[in-house]
């Protein structure tokens, strides 16, 4: 079941994030695997703004998505699925909830940034209808996000912005 995140879910979302990061270590992406999840304060901001959703198993979050609005589009800030629940279209379900949320608000598209060569990243989002953006298509907000990611060291692996029209 997908529902809005509750305050009591937030610490569990951090655990989901840590678990979802572990498979990156198998690809030699230890920086990503060991990255700390968003703080409780950051997660609370998304939750209180109504832009944090969870997929639950027995009312316990096993996946989550947090979103922002960047340059007039719904932007996937983070989507994570606990590895033991992967392969069940949970992430796709969360993306569809965000798409419905965005449509209700008249937003034209979903955007995100992702690793292009990680199977559960760029190739996965392509299957969900996203396309890679060329540099000349990047909006100011997406450019700013990419600068932050580069400064955090994420450009050690191929990375790109993607967009899905609604």
Q: What integer is the mean pLDDT of 59-85? A: 97
Q: Which residues of 46-72 are buried (b: 16+ CB within 10 A; e: fewer)?
A: bbeeebbbbbbeeeebbbbbbbbebee
- Mean pLDDT, the chain, integer: 97
pTM of the entire structure?
0.95
d(CA 164, CA 162): 7
Would you identify the CATH topology of the domain 2-165?
Aminopeptidase (3.40.630)
Q: What integer is the mean pLDDT of 50-60? A: 96
Task: Take residue 77 and report the two structure tokens written for it.
Answer: 């800030």
In this predicted model, what pLDDT tens digit does every residue of 139-148 receive, in sequence order? 999 999 999 9
In this predicted model, what pLDDT tens digit does every residue of 112-156 receive, in sequence order? 999 999 999 999 999 999 999 999 999 999 999 999 999 999 999
């Amino acid at each position: 079941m997908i529902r809005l995140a509750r305050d009591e879910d937030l610490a569990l979302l951090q655990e989901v994030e840590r678990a979802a990061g572990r498979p990156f270590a198998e690809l030699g992406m230890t920086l990503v695997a060991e990255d700390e999840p968003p703080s409780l304060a950051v997660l609370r901001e998304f939750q209180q703004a109504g832009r944090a959703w969870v997929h639950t198993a027995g009312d316990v979050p096993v996946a989550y998505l947090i979103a922002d609005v960047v340059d007039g589009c719904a932007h996937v800030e983070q989507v994570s699925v606990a590895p033991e629940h992967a392969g069940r279209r949970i992430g796709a379900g969360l993306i569809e909830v965000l798409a419905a949320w965005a449509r209700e608000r008249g937003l034209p598209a979903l955007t995100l940034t992702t690793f292009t060569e990680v199977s559960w990243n760029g190739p996965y989002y392509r299957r969900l209808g996203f396309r890679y953006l060329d540099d000349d298509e990047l909006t100011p907000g997406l450019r700013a996000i990419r600068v932050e990611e580069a400064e955090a060291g994420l450009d050690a692996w191929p990375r790109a912005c993607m967009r899905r029209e609604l």
